[in-house]
Structure 1
């Protein structure tokens, strides 16, 4: 199959406008602002259904795209389902995850806007690795503030970022006011993604460089739609369409990437599709959060967005190893969830890892911890469909591989994460 020539923009098909951002009430504390390339701002606001992928970005995509779509037949037999499960695998690139799809695009636009150095905050390291890889491609310097617990637990990710030329700093650090303030209440230096983002923002503001916002902005979800567009064509060639699309949710980029093209078809009057966001019970922003305006990081300087949030000061437990630790959901995903256009389910890390172990043994692929939550939710949904007498077709995004996360899987095998509970949390009622 050919690469998609354009990204899919769901905004024209929504039938409603996304709530506008609000300026930070503390914005007067600094005369600097986060700089975003005009091209990305135009994409954020565009009402064009299709936005052309620049040739320079498409050339890089062609190094690993299109990505494979596979049927998990052995896993189906292992869990005893009559439903069909297909998975789209996004781990076959240098960064090891789907995040390179938007990192390549964003850094291309940052370079064209004149950026020479980018600062970025990262949780488990997927976003930081993707930005470091993209900066290496386009010749930009990169500084990564990485959540302290992940910095120590994931030396492989840190080593790869440094190999790619990035400077990697454990957060909270003593390089920023945000980091020094956070360290007073976090003597162990576990950190949180919100603090890491705040440090990256402050660094960019004080140096005059650019802060690379991350994977929750609407333009980031736009770039990720190459996942769903490819999956749609691949399934069409197999003569099938999914009843249910599942992905994990941190900020929302891989969920949006695989689900929005299918949801867009539904919004335009096509076949209905069920979309399930899978999140950890350690960071249950959709299933237990509030829909309100909140800061996107702990600096309180960035604009407020209307989102499902646990609060910008929220920190996931230190033993939560996955990257799904962001306190809020992307405003686009939040709006869809608020309007009951998608569902959410939460489960424990131990439950997700147990299912991931079954998947790895059955399919010969070790999923990223983030993907483990999606695979677990998919297995649960398949068995629920069987029990209702309606075996279906499920599509799940395996957003990355778990080879950088072997210490987490070892902790699971040694019982350091506790045991799976007898029941997963039910799907959050609509």
Structure 2
């Protein structure tokens, strides 16, 4: 860090727009995404508490890759339940996790009660993040030296990711610019929240009341635009605490679109509160 803030000159030219377009690129980390920002922190604090093993889920494999990398750095064993459709579509992410010493299994699996139940109901189930979370939580809760780790949605994850927006503010100052519009994609919400939370204080305080912040979500899993704002579980089996969020329902299995990290039924409560 810091990661690069690019000025998209050629895109501006192709669009024939007077707007200045900047984009913050988080793909330069060893794991290839923004996820190490929270994976390193979570793995470090687990190590300090004497945790031997962390169990987690992953959609497209970015979070699983990041936590596997962090586990290798801090000497913590990592087990990853990877959503089955992404496990099949993205073998190189699985190889990356295994290269860092993690064990990666497709979800739903026969390792857990919830996985066996889903497979009995639908042997061809493509899986979902909510289901993979259930499997990871169930396994972590059943083993004394294991803990569960989540890579998005929750407040502490969004806090870790604000390094993205804090850097961007400094970089935009260097460019003598301030954004009129901030746009980002949302799955669980940590990536985009990491960018916009350091800016939204200017809007809330009245310093920049016209600042626009736009979340973009997949039509296949439109939690913000189609889901009710209510309390719901963060996982399919209802093992997590209830979260107040826009949700399509914790039993929702999204279509098997390629954007595996965006196939989550809910949204970060902080984003939902501000929406």
TM-score range, shorter chain: over 0.9
Q: Say if 2:194 is the partner of 1:249.
A: no
Question: How do 1:296-311 and structure 2 match up within 5 A?
Answer: 296-311=234-249
Rounded to whole Å, the distance in 1 between the matches of 2:258 and 2:171 is 34
Contact 1:178 1:299 in 2 (8 A): yes
Shift, 1:299, TM fit? 2.1
Helix, strand or coil: the match of 2:47? helix
Structure whose alpha-carbon radius of gyration is higher: 1
Per-residue CA shift, 1:324-354, capped at 9, x if unaligned?
Answer: 01110011111011xxxxxxxxxxxxxxxxx
Structure 1 segments unaligned to the other structure (5+ residues):
1-64, 338-430
Relative contact order, CA 8 A, sep 6+: which one is greater? 1
1:112 correspondence with 2:48: yes
**Per-residue deviation, residues 70-96 of structure 1 (Å, max 9, x unmatched):** 110101222332211100010001110
Give the aligned partner of residue 318 of structure 1: 256
Q: Which residue of 2 aligns with 1:80?
A: 16
* TM-score normalised to structure 2 length: 0.97
Q: Residues 185 and 76 (structure 1 numbering): CA distance in 2 closer, same or farther, change over 3 Å?
A: farther
- SS class of match (1:293): strand
- Equivalent in the alignment of 1:238: 175
Aligned partners of 1:264, 1:104: CA distance in 2, in Å? 26
Q: 1:193 aligns with which of 129, 133, 145?
A: 129
- CA-based RMSD of the aligned residues comes to 1.1
Corresponding residue for residue 215 of structure 2: 277
Residue 101 of structure 1 corresponds to which residue in structure 2?
A: 37
Alignment of 1:395-406 (within 5 A): none
Structure 1 distance, partners of 2:17, 2:263, is: 31
Q: Could you tell me which residue of structure 2 aligns to residue 398 of structure 1?
A: none
Is the 8 Å Cα contact of residues 86 and 258 (structure 2) preserved in structure 1? no
For residue 185 of structure 1, report the CA deviation from its aligned partner.
2.6
Q: Which residue of 1 aligns with 2:158?
A: 221
Check conservation: 2:83, 2:127, Cα contact below 8 A: yes
> Which stretch of structure 1 is more off in the superposition, 311-320 or 221-230?
311-320
- Give distance in 2, aligned partners of 1:78 and 1:183: 49
Q: Cα distance, 1:301 vs. partner?
A: 1.7
Contact 2:81 2:132 in 1 (8 A): yes
**Bigger shift: residues 181-190 or 224-233:** 181-190
Residue in structure 2 matched with residue 363 of structure 1 by the alignment:
none
Partner-residue secondary structure (3-state), 1:84: coil
* Aligned counterpart, 2:76: 140
Map Cα deviations across residues 132-157 of structure 1 (whole Å, 9 max, x no partner). 11111111000000000100100010
1:128 maps onto 2:38 in alignment: no
4+ residue runs over 4 A deviation:
none
Q: CA deviation at 1:66?
A: 0.4
**C-alpha displacement at 1:186, in angstroms?**
2.5
- The CA deviation string for residues 333-378 of structure 1, in whole angstroms up to 9 with x for no partner, is 11011xxxxxxxxxxxxxxxxxxxxxxxxxxxxxxxxxxxxxxxxx
Aligned to 1:258: 195
CA distance in 2, matches of 1:199, 1:284: 24
Residue matched to 2:25: 89
The 3-state SS of whatever aligns with 1:280 is coil
Q: Matched residue of 2:243: which SS?
A: strand
Judged with a 3 Å threshold, the aligned counterparts in structure 2 of structure 1 residues 216 and 314 are, in CA distance, closer, same or farther, namely same
- Deviations along 1:223-275, one digit per CA (max 9) or x if unpaired, are 11111011101111111100111111011101110000110122233123211
Q: Quick one: distance in 1 between partners of 2:87 and 2:198?
A: 35
Q: Deviations over 1:17-45 (max 9, x none)?
A: xxxxxxxxxxxxxxxxxxxxxxxxxxxxx
Per-residue deviation, 1:112: 1.2
Matched residue count = 273
* 2:224 alignment partner in structure 1: 286
